[in-house]
Amino acid sequence: MSSKRKMIEKQAKYLAAENRKNDPDIKKVYWFPDEAEVRLVEVHTTIPKSLDGEIRPFYFRPDPAGRLPAPSGIALIRPDEAKKLPPPTDWGGWDIAEELK
């Protein structure tokens, strides 16, 4: 595994843990591995249903001072949308997603 990929994975785990702490309505976090940015899909119990049938991530710039050296894309979906809604095409499919416990 490359050092960049290790850094991305570390940030993904950190972000997943932080976001869970900040928002108890996040029940699961899926990571879509990538070499350049952190890509997370968070399963949220109170989010409105997706009306266009696709996962739309919000993107955030890096924040090295805040332990986030890589850019990140984060999407919220409802529990019944997990593994059903298609992720953005450049994220790959659900088959590569890893659940971060």
Partner 1 sequence: MSWREAFLRQARSENEIRRLLNKPNVKYSHRLHYLQMVTEKLAKAGLANPSDTDSPKTSHNAFVRYLQTLKGRAFTQRQLGYASRKAYRKFIDSILPQAHEIERLAPSVAAMTQPNPEYPWRDPRTGDISAPADYDFPELDPLRSDMLKIEKMIEQLLVVLT
Binding positions for partner 1, rule: CB under 8 A: 18-23, 26, 36-37, 42, 44, 46-48, 51-52, 54, 56-61, 63, 66, 68, 71, 73-76
Smaller CB separation from partner 1, 61 or 101: 61
Q: How far is the CB of 59 from partner 1 (least distance, A)?
A: 4
Question: Least separation, in Å, of the C-beta of 9 and partner 1?
Answer: 19
- Return d(Cα 60, Cα 49) in angstroms, integer: 22
Q: Which is nearer to partner 1, 88 or 94 (CB)?
A: 88
- Which token pair is 52? 């266009």
Nearest to 82 by CA among 44, 48, 33, 52: 44
* Nearest distance in Å: CB 3, partner 1: 20
Shortest distance in whole angstroms from residue 93 CB to partner 1: 18
Give CA–CA dist 56/76, Å, rounded: 8
Residue 53, burial from CB neighbour count under 10 angstroms (0-12, 13-18, 19+)? exposed
Q: Is the Cβ of residue 2 or residue 22 nearer to partner 1 in the bound state?
A: 22
| Four-CA torsion 21, 82, 94, 20, nearest 10 degrees | 0
